[in-house]
Amino acid sequence: MLTINIISIFPDFFTGPLGLSIPKRAAEAGLVRYNCVDLRSFATDKHKTVDDAPFGGGPGMVMKPAPFFDAVESVGATAPIVLLSPRGKVFSHADAVRFAEGTELTLLCGHYKDVDQRVADHLATEEISLGDFVLSGGEPAALAVVDAVVRLLPGAMSDIESARTDSFFDRGLSAPSYTRPAEYRGFKVPDVLLSGNHAEIDRWRREEGERLTRERGG
């Protein structure tokens, strides 16, 4: 079983999404356990403060290191301990596979202006980003990582072959998909997909995937 610890000031953010679809089925099947930890539980003042003004001045607030360290220690987390951060390397399918092959994953969700750098340097084992943009907090990014990882757990999907034909699964982008009707508002499905010739269909899908990967810089 994979245990996923999610440390956040908004643990309720995950209740709805993790109770739906593949994340829910995987948990019910005993493939994954979600442990959402409220970072404010590790604040030491009556107001449950987890942020403070940055040294050196400037706008915004910075999340304090102590609550993160204490929260991680409370669950006995081991690597990988991932800080969701715009400074991190971009999350990839290879990362999802790597995390899915483990037994534990801990995700640290920042908020406000930034997280004290000592969390990145001395607590997290890696930093991961979803891309060159900034979210209001690490929670949406953490949820994306969880979804990408959990669907790869053996038995999580009813049809693992569906996952194997996804984009980035041992290759670049996947070919476009079509379903009934064969013509809609004058827009037709490529003839090859209606031909019944599986060798030609496989060739078309391979070539289309390669074309899209080239065009999009993959």
pLDDT by residue (tens digit) across 64-110? 999 999 999 999 999 999 999 999 999 999 999 999 999 999 999 99
Question: Structure tokens of 115?
Answer: 């997280």
Known binding residue 217? Answer is no
Q: Is the pLDDT of residue 32 over 70?
A: yes
Q: Which own/partner contact pairs does 9-14 have at CB distance under 8 Å and 24+ positions apart?
A: 9/38, 9/39, 9/40, 9/50, 9/109, 9/111, 9/137, 10/109, 10/111, 10/137, 10/139, 11/36, 11/37, 11/38, 13/139, 13/143, 14/139, 14/142, 14/143, 14/146
**Whole-angstrom Cα distance, residue 72 to residue 123?**
8
Known binding residue 16? Answer is no
DSSP letters, 51-119, are: EEPPTT--SS-EE-HHHHHHHHHHTT--S-EEEEEEEEEEP-HHHHHHHHTSSEEEEEE-BSSEE-HHH
Which pLDDT band, with edges at 50, 70 and 90, does 6 fall under?
very high
Known binding residue 130? Answer is yes
169 Cβ contact partners less than 8 Å away, ≥ 6 residues apart: 93, 163
Domains of the chain: 2-150 (3.40.1280.10), 171-215 (1.10.1270.20)
Known binding residue 110? Answer is yes
Question: What is the overall mean pLDDT for the chain?
Answer: 94
Q: Is the pLDDT of residue 166 over 80?
A: no
Within 10 angstroms of residue 153's Cβ, the number of other Cβ atoms is 18
**Whole-angstrom Cα distance, residue 110 to residue 123?**
13
pLDDT recorded at residue 217: 77
The pTM assigned to this predicted structure is 0.89
Known binding residue 84? Answer is no
